[in-house]
Amino acid sequence: MRVYVPTTLTALAAAHSGGALEQSAAYAVTPALREWYVSDDLEELEYAALNRAAQSSLRLLAAEPAAPRRRVVVALDIADSAVKPFPGDEYQDQASLGRVVLAGPVKLAKAAAVHADVSDGDVVADVAAAVEAVAAADAGDQDAQFTVDGAEDHDLLWFATQEIAALLARPA
């Protein structure tokens, strides 16, 4: 199963040196996400799961003020048995659509790719503004949601696993 693990550059650096991602929350193509997105195209569904993980990365950045303001998502191929449903996904709770729980730490060696923001000024500024607004957006503030959506205007770039060290070495 392909899962998308939201993280930060700081946590990715720790996983790169330690060998495992400690994050237990991930996103995948779940039955509820399929029903909500109303598509049979697996690529579209995986892109939706990736975007859900990118939104979750904003929340991780809000909890980690010292982390560079760049969203990071690690795409992993893992056994179905290593993934558990997230309570709420089956009820189509909008906040948890596509969310799954990983059974334990996942080796970074299982990563298929890393998706991350570049350190371009506009991207970093929009992501930083979204990080500041995400709590208010979650509480229903429409103006804050507009700011959060502004970060989604920037696609995450794809990095091969061999490029993780170079990604981490880029200026914040």
3-state secondary structure of 107: strand
Higher per-residue pLDDT: 132 or 110? 132
Please classify residue 111 by burial: count the beta carbons closer than 10 Å to its beta carbon, then call 0-12 exposed, 13-18 middle and 19+ buried. Answer: buried
pLDDT of the residue at 31: 86
**φ and ψ at 25, to 5 degrees?**
-85, 140
Q: How many other β-carbons are positioned within 10 Å of the β-carbon of residue 2?
A: 16
Contacts of 142 (CB under 8 A, 6+ apart): none
Q: If you average pLDDT over every residue of the chain, what do you get?
A: 90
Q: Which residue has the tokens 């558990």?
A: 84
Higher per-residue pLDDT: 22 or 100? 100
For residue 152 the two structure tokens come to 């989604």
Mean pLDDT value of segment 99-108: 90
Lowest mean pLDDT among 48-57, 78-87, 155-164: 78-87
